[in-house]
A and B are shown apart, each in its own frame.
Chain A
Amino acid sequence: MAEQNDILEEHISSEYKYGFSSDIETETAPPGLSEDIVRFISAKKNEPKWMLDYRLKAYRHWQTMEEPRHWPLLKYPEINFQNIIYYAAPKQKPELKDLSEVDPELLATFEKLGISLEEQKRLTGVQSNIAIDAVIDSVSVKTTFKEVLAEKGIIFCSFSEAVQEHPELIKKYMGSVVPYTDNFYAALNAAVFSDGSFCYIPKGVRCPMELSTYFRINTSGTGQFERTLIVADEGSYVSYLEGCTAPMRDENQLHAAVVEIVSHKNAEVKYSTVQNWYPGDKNGKGGIYNFVTKRGICLEENSKISWTQVETGSSITWKYPSVILKGDNSVGEFYSVAVTNNYQQADTGTKMTHIGKNTRSTIISKGISAGHSNNSYRGLVRINKGAKNARNFSQCDSLLMSDKCGAHTFPYIEIKDKTAIVEHEATTSKIGEDQIFYCKQRGIDTEKAIGLIVNGYCKEVFNQLPMEFAVEAQKLLAVSLEGSVG
């Protein structure tokens, strides 16, 4: 036990390695939220009038809404929405032609994060590379591989660029999955979103590389509100990755993003997230408040949307990546590993809404709680009337690694069709001492044994991640957790 405690000590004190902040010149709006700020953001982005009108409608609706306080199992102080800076952008020269024009400080930042934009550029043509859209303080700074993708007809650019260049697509799809009336944070996002990524895969195209957005909050006192829209047209396929980090600060910063996915007939979208926002220090000070609305719709037959998430960061996570299974035979998947340590709180899960016939959904959720944290799975499986032969399987396991943390499961199952088959199972337990003993007997020390067991426990989810991410996820898990058995 003593030995375990030492390891625990060692690992809990392991530092958040993305906690640096970069000295990039930024342009910020004054803190506070009003119609003027909404207009200011819109003007900054040179947006057409319809976009501004949309933002204003959302802002007015947001004012009538209440924070979702009563149902999530989360405790946090009042958020003063007037204290937040709603717009911060790295100062940059317009129309970057090549990387040499990019602020060198910015490039250094991405080097440190392990995403070298330059490297990526040079690697063009090499197999299994990733196109990256990098977003700092809610403004897209650089998108790589655009030309290569354009050859195939794939549009992958920042959201603001898409508003300018592809207004017909934005008008058609934006808000079609997550309307601004959806919830408090979605409305807020619709009013003040500053940038994000847009991706369109044309008919019959299989995207040749992984598309990725890298989010970074840098400026102090800002909130990040980005918006991602992915449209997969008939018969197309795309795998999309999202990563995020933030500097270590004593204050709590707000991140309220919206992700919308539209999957047409026979199309498939795979969306993977490794969420590693700054989780706060070991006394629970600081950290990101992560309130995210992610939803996809399988619009037509045989379409598929798959969410995979590894949640290790943020002091508060409120996130329910969902799938609306509208088309017949469509498939929704949700694979999640959520790890909380110290004073982190997570209330996360999914919503699967079955509308079409023969729709299938799978939910695999693995929660790991350590320290004083609370980790909740909250998921909805809804089978509407007329969703004949709908099928759902959910498995939600929780692992407790200390006697001061909490692990909770709140599934909501609503069934209105008699042909549906829905199964839900959940277990809560700690790492078996006999498992550790077994490993130790065979010469594997406690630390490695725990790593082994936890990795095994999460394997079903890690298997769903693209290779590059799976490696990162395993390492992350090690940093956040290893040895936390008390």
Chain B
Amino acid sequence: MITAEKISSTDKLVSDFEAVKKTLPGNSFVQSIRQKAIESFSALGIPARENEEYKYSNVQKLFSEAVTLSVVEMTLSKISIDKYLIPNLDAHIIVLINGFLSEELSLLKNLEKSVVVSSLQKAFEKHSEFIERHFSTCADINSDAFIALNTAYASDGVFINVPDNTVVEKPIHIINIIAAKESTFFFPRNLFVVGKSAQVQLVETFETHDLPVKAISTSVTEIAINENAKVQYYRLQNDCGNGQQINTVSASQQKNSHFDTNTVTLSGGWVRNNLNIALNGENCESHLNGLFITSDTQHVDNHTLVDHRKPHCESNQTYKGILDGKSTGIFNGKIFVQRDAQKTNAYQSSKNILLSDDATINAKPQLEIYADDVKCSHGSSTGKIDEDALFYLRARGLGIESARKLLLHAFVNDVMQTIRINALRDYLETLIHKKLGE
């Protein structure tokens, strides 16, 4: 069932909420958060170009076309997920179709017993103690219009709870599939809670299945990382050109925790990735790595915010982009060091290569620092393939194409090396090889 409402403006989205709010899942606690969220969205509105955070991404244009709002699961003919699996990756599989958890397609054999995986809808009822403690705590509804919008409309997604002192042996692979016959607006919402001294590897892939029209997905993933926990989180975006995504990942780290994230965008029409990390305890470590290889008219916008709130933390960001065709790449990263966060080490680097005269790169690496005993730096460079290096390789008998490819592979190598799941890395290598070979 789809509510056949056409969306075009902030007001429309706010009034539509009134119409559908009774059908949205969750108890009174969740409902009251939804209400606050829609009020916040109403105040923030769909960001205009004047909004510094959306300077290079025209979201209003995205909303200029009429789309249908989807808050209820769609019935689809059976999908085979085989082609979305990562070869040789031994993992627990969770499948989300249009943001709704499909138990039928998910495969959770031999998952550690204490680990909870459930749909968010079910979690609202069964795990209300976690929901009340963590839902809408990492992603601040007042900070961004799309967080607010998603929180208001959030219909389903996956809830994972890794209890204290639990190490999940195999990676958990979450496959997000978007399938729609008409222009649709989705609101997937995930919540991951990782307990004290727990460890987990999460892989999320974004795919499209039979999408002849444009779809917009504004997803929010909240990750609560408790003391001493270690989380690796990989995101691979490789959907067809009709997918339009505004993704937000908000993580909150407690004392001594460790969070590694990799965002790789190879395909997808219009992608905006917001990655917000709040370091709420001492001695935290965060590594944010990203890679985007774009072509045609792709638009990829990577936004990061690392909020250093406590002393002795370390954060490290490396983002690399290769842009071809008429594509646009954006890196907008911010290191925010609050007054208390003395002894912070924060580093940020954005490197890009332009392959075509019609491609555009906009980089905005930012430092906002209010503590004095810190070491923070950032660097950004953009250039073309080094002519000397190319000449060197050609003088040694490599054809221009292979030489170029070799240099581009070398360029992305340091991001690739941060991927610690071998099967995933191999899979990515083949995808990148294919992409660069085009």
Encode A171-212 as 1/0 by CB contact (under 8 A) with B: 000000000000000000000000000000000000000000
Q: Could you tell me if A385 and B357 are in contact, using CB atoms closer than 8 angstroms?
A: yes
Q: Considering residues A400, A406, A415, A416, which has the most beta carbons from chain B within 10 angstroms of its beta carbon?
A: A415
Q: Could you tell me if B380 and A486 are in contact, using CB atoms closer than 8 angstroms?
A: no
Give A380's nearest chain B residue, CB to CB: B364
Q: Is A429 an interface residue (CB 8 A)?
A: yes
Chain B residues near A73 (CB-CB < 8 A):
368
Q: Is A425 an interface residue (CB 8 A)?
A: yes
Chain B residues near A421 (CB-CB < 8 A):
381-384
Bound-state CA distance A401–B376 (Å) is: 15
Q: Could you tell me if A400 and B372 are in contact, using CB atoms closer than 8 angstroms?
A: yes
Q: Is A430 an interface residue (CB 8 A)?
A: yes
Bound-state CA distance A223–B264 (Å) is: 53
Number of interface residues of A (CB under 8 A): 37
Given contacts A404-B339, A425-B379, A427-B376, contact A419 B384 (CB under 8 A): yes
Chain B residues near A417 (CB-CB < 8 A):
354, 357
B347-372 at interface with A (beta carbon < 8 Å): 352, 354-372
Q: Is A23 an interface residue (CB 8 A)?
A: no
Q: Could you tell me if B372 and A402 are in contact, using CB atoms closer than 8 angstroms?
A: yes
Q: Is A422 an interface residue (CB 8 A)?
A: yes
Q: Could you tell me if A409 and B357 are in contact, using CB atoms closer than 8 angstroms?
A: no
Q: Could you tell me if A418 and B356 are in contact, using CB atoms closer than 8 angstroms?
A: yes
Encode B371-391 as 1/0 by CB contact (under 8 A) with A: 111111111111110000000
Chain A residues near B358 (CB-CB < 8 A):
385
Among B339, B352, B364, B383, point to the contact of A410 (Cβ < 8 A). B364
Q: Is B18 an interface residue (CB 8 A)?
A: no
A377-422 at interface with B (beta carbon < 8 Å): 385, 398, 400-422
Q: Could you tell me if A422 and B383 are in contact, using CB atoms closer than 8 angstroms?
A: yes
Bound-state CA distance A415–B10 (Å) is: 32
CB distance from A12 to the nearest CB of B (A): 16
Chain A residues near B104 (CB-CB < 8 A):
none
Chain B residues near A411 (CB-CB < 8 A):
363-366, 380
Q: Could you tell me if A428 and B377 are in contact, using CB atoms closer than 8 angstroms?
A: yes
Q: Could you tell me if B342 and A403 are in contact, using CB atoms closer than 8 angstroms?
A: yes
Bound-state CA distance A52–B365 (Å) is: 44
Q: Could you tell me if A405 and B382 are in contact, using CB atoms closer than 8 angstroms?
A: no
Among B339, B360, B368, point to the contact of A415 (Cβ < 8 A). B360
Q: Is B82 an interface residue (CB 8 A)?
A: no
Bound-state CA distance A406–B360 (Å) is: 32
Q: Could you tell me if A398 and B369 are in contact, using CB atoms closer than 8 angstroms?
A: yes
Among A70, A400, A410, A419, point to the contact of B366 (Cβ < 8 A). A410
Q: Could you tell me if B339 and A409 are in contact, using CB atoms closer than 8 angstroms?
A: no
Q: Is B210 an interface residue (CB 8 A)?
A: no
Encode A215-244 as 1/0 by CB contact (under 8 A) with B: 000000000000000000000000000000
Q: Is A426 an interface residue (CB 8 A)?
A: yes
Q: Could you tell me if A429 and B379 are in contact, using CB atoms closer than 8 angstroms?
A: no
Among B52, B360, B368, point to the contact of A416 (Cβ < 8 A). B360
Q: Is B50 an interface residue (CB 8 A)?
A: yes
Q: Could you tell me if B355 and A424 are in contact, using CB atoms closer than 8 angstroms?
A: no
Given contacts A406-B370, A409-B366, A422-B383, contact A428 B376 (CB under 8 A): yes
Give A391's nearest chain B residue, CB to CB: B383
Give B50's nearest chain A residue, CB to CB: A70
Q: Is A423 an interface residue (CB 8 A)?
A: yes
Q: Could you tell me if A428 and B369 are in contact, using CB atoms closer than 8 angstroms?
A: yes
Q: Could you tell me if B381 and A486 are in contact, using CB atoms closer than 8 angstroms?
A: no
Q: Is A50 an interface residue (CB 8 A)?
A: no
Q: Could you tell me if B377 and A424 are in contact, using CB atoms closer than 8 angstroms?
A: no
Chain A residues near B360 (CB-CB < 8 A):
414-416
Chain B residues near A76 (CB-CB < 8 A):
none
Number of interface residues of B (CB under 8 A): 36
Among B362, B377, B382, point to the contact of A427 (Cβ < 8 A). B377
B378-416 at interface with A (beta carbon < 8 Å): 378-384
CB distance from A69 to the nearest CB of B (A): 11
Bound-state CA distance A425–B373 (Å) is: 19
A360-382 at interface with B (beta carbon < 8 Å): none
Q: Considering residues B368, B371, B372, B380, which has the most beta carbons from chain A within 10 angstroms of its beta carbon?
A: B372
Chain A residues near B355 (CB-CB < 8 A):
418
Chain A residues near B363 (CB-CB < 8 A):
411-413, 415, 424
Give A388's nearest chain B residue, CB to CB: B357
Bound-state CA distance A71–B358 (Å) is: 29
Among B339, B365, B367, B384, point to the contact of A403 (Cβ < 8 A). B339
Chain A residues near B365 (CB-CB < 8 A):
409, 411, 424, 426
Given contacts A408-B366, A409-B367, A413-B364, contact A418 B359 (CB under 8 A): yes
Give A392's nearest chain B residue, CB to CB: B382
Give B330's nearest chain A residue, CB to CB: A414
Chain A residues near B373 (CB-CB < 8 A):
403, 430
Bound-state CA distance A416–B370 (Å) is: 34
Q: Could you tell me if B383 and A425 are in contact, using CB atoms closer than 8 angstroms?
A: no
Chain B residues near A430 (CB-CB < 8 A):
372-374
Chain B residues near A398 (CB-CB < 8 A):
367, 369
Chain B residues near A419 (CB-CB < 8 A):
384
Among B359, B369, B374, B381, point to the contact of A422 (Cβ < 8 A). B381
Give B364's nearest chain A residue, CB to CB: A412
CB distance from A387 to the nearest CB of B (A): 11
Chain A residues near B361 (CB-CB < 8 A):
413-415
Q: Could you tell me if A418 and B372 are in contact, using CB atoms closer than 8 angstroms?
A: no
Chain A residues near B357 (CB-CB < 8 A):
385, 417-418
Chain B residues near A424 (CB-CB < 8 A):
363, 365, 378-381
Q: Could you tell me if A420 and B367 are in contact, using CB atoms closer than 8 angstroms?
A: no
Q: Could you tell me if B379 and A422 are in contact, using CB atoms closer than 8 angstroms?
A: no
Chain A residues near B362 (CB-CB < 8 A):
412-415
Chain A residues near B374 (CB-CB < 8 A):
400, 428-430
Give B377's nearest chain A residue, CB to CB: A427
Chain B residues near A413 (CB-CB < 8 A):
361-364, 380, 382
Q: Could you tell me if B354 and A425 are in contact, using CB atoms closer than 8 angstroms?
A: no
A253-268 at interface with B (beta carbon < 8 Å): none
Bound-state CA distance A70–B364 (Å) is: 17
Bound-state CA distance A404–B371 (Å) is: 7
Given contacts A70-B50, A418-B384, A428-B376, contact A406 B369 (CB under 8 A): yes
Give B362's nearest chain A residue, CB to CB: A414
Chain A residues near B383 (CB-CB < 8 A):
420-422
Chain B residues near A406 (CB-CB < 8 A):
368-370
Given contacts A423-B381, A428-B374, contact A415 B354 (CB under 8 A): yes
Give A66's nearest chain B residue, CB to CB: B50
Chain A residues near B378 (CB-CB < 8 A):
409, 424-426
Chain A residues near B372 (CB-CB < 8 A):
400-403, 405, 430, 486
A/B interface sample: 25 pairs, CB < 8 A: A398-B369, A400-B369, A400-B371, A401-B372, A405-B370, A409-B365, A409-B367, A409-B378, A411-B364, A411-B366, A413-B361, A413-B362, A413-B363, A413-B364, A413-B380, A415-B361, A418-B359, A421-B384, A423-B379, A425-B377, A426-B365, A427-B376, A428-B374, A429-B376, A430-B373
Contacts A401-B372, A419-B384, A428-B367 aside, 14 further interface pairs with beta carbons under 8 A come to A70-B52, A403-B339, A403-B372, A409-B365, A411-B366, A413-B361, A414-B361, A420-B384, A423-B381, A424-B365, A427-B375, A428-B375, A429-B375, A430-B373
* Residues of A bordering B, CB below 8 Å: 70-71, 73, 385, 398, 400-430, 486
9 smallest beta-carbon distances between A and B, as pairs: A400-B372, A418-B354, A413-B363, A427-B377, A425-B379, A409-B367, A421-B383, A428-B376, A424-B380
